Structure 1
Amino acid sequence: MERSNQPEAVSSVLKVFNILSALAEQKEIGVSELSQRLMMSKATTYRFLQTMKTLGYVEQEGEADKYALTLKLFEVGAKALEHVDLIKLANREMETVHKVTQETLHLGSLEENAIIYLHKIDSSYQLRMYSRIGRRNPLYSTAIGKVLMSDLPKQEVYELLKDVEFVKHTERTHANIDELWDELCIVREQHFGEDNEEQEPGLRCIAVPVYDRFDKAIAAVSMSFPVIRFDEKKKSEYVALLHTAGRNISLALGCKNYPV
């Protein structure tokens, strides 16, 4: 007879999750092996498995004494992720970065052949960049745009930009897709993108990706600086802060393989 100092209901919940964890570690397992591993009686283990089978979380391999998880847990998790508030998650991480840098931070995503700002935290300094939530900017001249495109195959990038006019916002703006693609290859390798006075004179920007549970870049977080406040020696520190934010947001969205 198993003993527990936990109330009976709590003890039962713990047993259920212990069974789920054990089943998750291998494709299928028998009642005897499972009961031994969890130090539960065979009768109790069997009773819990049958209840979980009835609820659809466990399946029995034919008439054999083998049990395995179904995809119902995945379905439950997927539904939960559908209700995750990206902006709420991002704001928490962006606030952390802002406390350190005091600079402007944006959350942006891809909308047709441009980026759109979903969220913003303003710089604490008087000299700051002008932007607003809902504003669109070009993909080819923004750090967020470069990060999002770097996650796409070359053919898809060319298709995305085929009807886009490469307006020379500054003398540093890319002139065409081929020139841009060379930089996107670098962005893909280093996992961050930069806008070095390409969208606005006197403004620099660094961005990192945010991934969903399918490891697809669905958004990007960026930090913007007037060039007079940008310290090249601290760039690696800025990138690391942004990567921490991007990783934490991605993890909350179900991404387990953030690349940095």
Structure 2
Amino acid sequence: MRVAARKIKADDRHGDIALAGSAELAADGGERSESVAAVNKVFAILQALGENSQIGISELSQRLVMSKSTVHRFLQTLKGLGYVAQEEDTDRYRLTIKLFELGSKALESVDLVREADVQMRRLSQLTREAVHLGAFDENSIVYIHKIDADYDLRMQSRIGRRNPLYSTAIGKVLLAWMEPDEARNVLSHVVFRKSTPKTLASAQAVLNILPHVREQGYGEDNEEQEEGLQCIAVPVFERFGRVIAGLSISFPSMRCGADTKAHYVALLKDAGRAISAQLGYHDSQRAVD
């Protein structure tokens, strides 16, 4: 009987654990559902604001079938983030320019990839090496377009992959065309890790080379990200002269001597100027020579 009793208690304990686990899963599921519902409400409010130059809480509440308190809470959050402004005289709300800026960035990325693709394919045909387009995001670079090398020995990468600013040719280009204080601030938030013996290991070491990068019109990764692999990159300008991306060729060190590298630099500069011109920038020649 004592054995049976112990077994019953053990089974009860397992049951308690199972019930607790089920409760946790249910709680997680409930939280996820609430989060999705909240996101849906936020975008419903933004959509309604987009359809009206100005609109008040009562009208939003009626149109979206939400309580006034819920509408008010989300509006205050959006206001705090800078996406919504409140008119003092009327207590009505409107969208701010910040959403336009966000949309412009998305459109800019689409235009950038489309315009870059032709030049990237040309570079790929001429060099047979890997060609990448990368942009700045959250203190790193992210590859937004690529064409693989036509060799068995080649760089392994993927669109969406992130790499450090300090050890990549594209990263150095993006930093070099920032204002010095901006580049210094960006690097102050970067954690430096040496991928190879040649990796620059401090913000100051990177800052020291940026004037040279800008002067010569291109950045280099001399086996700083991966041993045996080199990369050259040039800037891509948008219509107002801001660098929005870097265009690069990557290749194994064993496959590229000084003459070949100089040829790649010339090809990249031509391609960078062509893409920049397609994006509306008409002074690229002087900027990268």
Structure 1 length-normalised TM: 0.67
Candidates 181, 187, 212, aligned match of 1:155: 181
State the match for 1:29 in structure 2: none
User: How much has 1:203 moved relative to structure 2?
Assistant: 0.4
| One-letter amino acid of the structure 2 residue matched with residue 160 of structure 1 | V
State the match for 1:136 in structure 2: 162
Distance between the aligned counterparts of 1:184 and 1:82, measured in 2?
26
State the match for 1:250 in structure 2: 276
| One-letter amino acid of the structure 1 residue matched with residue 141 of structure 2 | I
Distance between the aligned counterparts of 1:159 and 1:197, measured in 2?
25
Candidates 100, 114, 118, aligned match of 2:126: 100
Mapping of residues 16-55 of structure 1, within 5 Å? none
Q: Is the 8 A contact 2:196 2:225 kept in 1?
A: yes
Q: Is the 8 A contact 1:196 1:204 kept in 2?
A: yes
State the match for 1:21 in structure 2: none
User: How much has 1:230 moved relative to structure 2?
Assistant: 1.3
User: How much has 1:83 moved relative to structure 2?
Assistant: 9.1
Map Cα deviations across residues 29-70 of structure 1 (whole Å, 9 max, x no partner). Answer: xxxxxxxxxxxxxxxxxxxxxxxxxxxxxxxxxxxxxxxxxx
State the match for 1:233 in structure 2: 259
Alignment identity in percent?
Answer: 51
Distance between the aligned counterparts of 2:109 and 2:154, measured in 1?
33
Consecutive unaligned residues of structure 1, counting only runs of 5 or more, are 1-77
User: How much has 1:163 moved relative to structure 2?
Assistant: 2.2
Mapping of residues 1-260 of structure 1, within 5 Å? 85-258=111-284, 259=287, 260=289
Q: Is the 8 A contact 2:111 2:279 kept in 1?
A: no
Distance between the aligned counterparts of 1:83 and 1:225, measured in 2?
26
Q: Is the 8 A contact 2:133 2:245 kept in 1?
A: yes
The root-mean-square deviation of aligned C-alpha atoms, in Å, is: 1.5
Q: Is the 8 A contact 2:133 2:146 kept in 1?
A: yes
Q: Is the 8 A contact 1:84 1:253 kept in 2?
A: no
- More helix by percentage: 2
SS of 2:271's partner is helix
Number of equivalences: 181
Say which structure, 1 or 2, has more relative contact order (CA 8 Å, 6+ apart): 1
State the match for 1:45 in structure 2: none
Consecutive unaligned residues of structure 2, counting only runs of 5 or more, are 1-103
Structure 2 length-normalised TM: 0.61
Distance between the aligned counterparts of 2:114 and 2:247, measured in 1?
13
Q: Is the 8 A contact 1:147 1:208 kept in 2?
A: yes
SS of 2:254's partner is coil
| One-letter amino acid of the structure 2 residue matched with residue 95 of structure 1 | R
Instruction: Pick closer, same or farther for the CA change 1:119–1:82 going to 2, 3 Å.
Output: closer
| One-letter amino acid of the structure 1 residue matched with residue 187 of structure 2 | L
User: How much has 1:82 moved relative to structure 2?
Assistant: 5.7
| One-letter amino acid of the structure 2 residue matched with residue 98 of structure 1 | S
User: How much has 1:84 moved relative to structure 2?
Assistant: 6.3
